[in-house]
Amino acid sequence: MPLPKSIQAEAAELRQALNEHNHRYYVLDAPAITDQAYDRLFRRLQQLEQEYAELASADSPTQRIGSEPASHFESVAHEVAMLSLDNAFDEEEMLAFDRRLRDKLDHAAPLAYCAEPKLDGLAVSLLYEAGELKRAATRGDGRSGENITANVRTVASIALRLLGSDLPERIEVRGEVYMELAGFEALNRKQQETGGKVFANPRNAAAGSLRLLDSRITASRPLSFCSYGIGLIEGAVLPPGQYLQMQYLRAIGLPISRQIELLDSIDDCLDYYRRILDQRDKLAFDIDGVVFKLDDSRLQRQAGFVSRAPRWAIAYKFPAQEVMTRLLDVDFQVGRTGALTPVARLEPVAVGGVMVSNATLHNMDEIERKDIRIGDIVIVRRAGDVIPEVVAPVLQQRDGDLPRPQMPLRCPVCDSEVLQQPGQSAFRCIGGLVCAAQRKEAIKHFASRKAMDIEGLGDKLVEQMVEQNLIESVADLYHLPLEQVAGLDRMADKSARNLLDSLRQSKQTTLARFIFALGIREVGESTAESLAAYFGELDALMDADVESLQRVEDVGPVVAENIRHFFDQENNRAIVEKLIDAGINWPLIEASQQAQTLEGKTYVISGTLEGYSRDQAASLLKARGARVSGSVSAKTTAVITGENPGSKVAKAETLGVEILGQSEFEALIGEDS
Ligand code: I6G
* pLDDT tens-place string over residues 212-248: 999 999 999 999 999 999 999 999 999 999 999 999 9
Does domain 322-397 correspond to CATH entry 2.40.50.140? yes
Per-residue confidence band for 617, with pLDDT thresholds at 50, 70 and 90: confident
Query: Taking each helix axis from N to C terminus, what angle separates 525-535 and 614-623, rounded to the nearest 10 degrees?
Result: 60
Check pLDDT > 60 for residue 673: no
Which atom of ligand 1 is closest in space to residue 118's alpha carbon?
Answer: 4
DSSP class of residue 147 equals B
CATH class of 86-317: alpha beta
SS3 percent helix, strand, coil of the chain, rounded to 5, is 40, 20, 40
Tell me the CA–centroid distance for residue 84 and ligand 1, in Å. Answer: 7
CB environment 386-402: b (16+ within 10 A), e (fewer): eebbbbbbeeeeeeeee
Q: What is the mean pLDDT of residues 546-556?
A: 88
DSSP class of residue 106 equals T
Beta bridge partners of 314: 86, 292
CB 198 within 8 A of CB 188: yes
By residue count, the chain amounts to 673
Which atom of ligand 1 is closest in space to residue 123's alpha carbon?
Answer: 1
* pLDDT tens-place string over residues 630-650: 888 888 999 999 988 888 888
Whose Cα sits closest to atom 4 in ligand 1?
A: 118
d(CA 622, CA 599): 9
Which active-site residues does the annotation give? 118
Tell me the CA–centroid distance for residue 587 and ligand 1, in Å. Answer: 62
By most ligand atoms within 8 Å of CB, the mutation choice from 86, 118, 307 for ligand 1 is 118
The dihedrals phi and psi of 425, each to the nearest 5 degrees, come to: -90, -20
* pLDDT tens-place string over residues 1-51: 678 999 999 999 999 999 999 999 899 888 888 888 898 999 999 999 999
Please report the DSSP string for 164-225 in residue order: SSS--SEEEEEEEEEE-HHHHHHHHHHHHHTT-PPPSSHHHHHHHHHT-S-HHHHTTS-EEE
Whose Cα sits closest to atom 11 in ligand 1?
A: 85
Whose Cα sits closest to atom 7 in ligand 1?
A: 228
Q: What is the mean pLDDT of residues 386-405?
A: 92
d(CA 166, CA 163): 9
**Whole-structure pTM over 0.85, yes or no?**
no
* pLDDT tens-place string over residues 59-96: 899 988 888 888 889 999 999 999 999 999 999 999 99
CATH class of 5-55: mainly alpha
Ligand 1 shell residues, CB under 6 Å: 83-85, 116, 118, 123, 176, 228-229, 291, 310, 313
Span 602-670: which CATH code? Answer: 3.40.50.10190
What's the mean pLDDT when you consider all of the chain? 92
SS (H, E, C) 476-526: HHHHCCHHHHHCCCCCCHHHHHHHHHHHHHHCECCHHHHHHHCCCCCCCHH
By most ligand atoms within 8 Å of CB, the mutation choice from 286, 291, 293, 308 for ligand 1 is 291
Tell me the CA–centroid distance for residue 584 and ligand 1, in Å. Answer: 62
Among 6, 282, 228, smallest CA distance to 117 is for 228
Q: pLDDT > 90: what percent of the chain?
A: 75
- Signed CA dihedral, 342, 344, 350, 351: sign only: negative
CB 361 within 8 A of CB 355: no
Which atom of ligand 1 is closest in space to residue 84's alpha carbon?
Answer: 15
Architecture of domain 412-593: Orthogonal Bundle (1.10)
Q: How far are the Cα atoms of 405, 424, 594, 618 from residue 413, in angstroms, in the given order?
A: 18, 22, 46, 41
Sketch the domain layout of the chain as residue ranges: 5-55, 86-317, 322-397, 412-593, 602-670
Residue 75, classified by CB atoms within 10 Å of its CB into exposed (0-12), middle (13-18) or buried (19+), is exposed
Check pLDDT > 50 for residue 174: yes
By most ligand atoms within 8 Å of CB, the mutation choice from 83, 84, 85 for ligand 1 is 85
Tell me the CA–centroid distance for residue 291 and ligand 1, in Å. Answer: 7
Check pLDDT > 90 for residue 169: yes
Tell me the CA–centroid distance for residue 175 and ligand 1, in Å. Answer: 8
Tell me the CA–centroid distance for residue 121 and ligand 1, in Å. Answer: 11
